Amino acid sequence: MKRVLIPLAPGFEEIEAINVIDILRRAGVTVTVAGTKSGSIIASRQTNHIPDCTLDEVRAEDFDMLVLPGGLPGTTHLRQDPRISQIIQTMLARHCFVAAICAAPTVLADAGVLTGRVATSHPSVRAELAGKVGRISDERVVVDGLIITSQSAGTAMEFAFKLVEILCGPAAAIEVNRGVLAK
């Protein structure tokens, strides 16, 4: 069974995290939601969320994919957390997938893993990607090797289905879609 790590930092974008968690779990993926701090995490729209564990309780080696939700100031917190950069490096060294949506591709850029790659992000953070990415795309979801990026809360469903397709295959994405009628 595939395993995905989704870290939550205070101020994360709800749609980008919860939608992905939901769709991946519907596909039978084991999703671990790890808080960057202990206790509940208040998201960008002031909703309260209780992670499965803290980031200190997980090992990058136990996962097939890392998914970084965007949102502000959640993305800023992820960018400032050295554990996130270390997990990104470990995942890619193991040839595992790393995904980021909205403002979170800036976390990947800061980790130095977008050099020479095609990526997308929310338009409001594209200036922060300049010089750190091979090319910025206007596509809603972009896959470049082991890196998957997406634009915003409005693309979260497409992003989630692309992650299912990558981890579990196209048939799994079709089957999950039958239940949620996304496309």
Rounded Cα distance, 171 and 80, in Å: 38
Distance CA 65, CA 72 (A): 22
Let me know if 168 is a catalytic residue: no
Distances (CA, A) of 7 to 50, 109, 134: 12, 17, 26
| Strand order from edge to edge, sheet including 3-8 | 53-54, 30-35, 3-8, 65-68, 97-101, 147-150, 141-144
Nearest to 55, CA basis, from 14, 23, 85, 19: 85
d(CA 22, CA 114): 27
Active-site residue identified among 53, 96, 102, 168: 102
**Catalytic residue positions?**
102
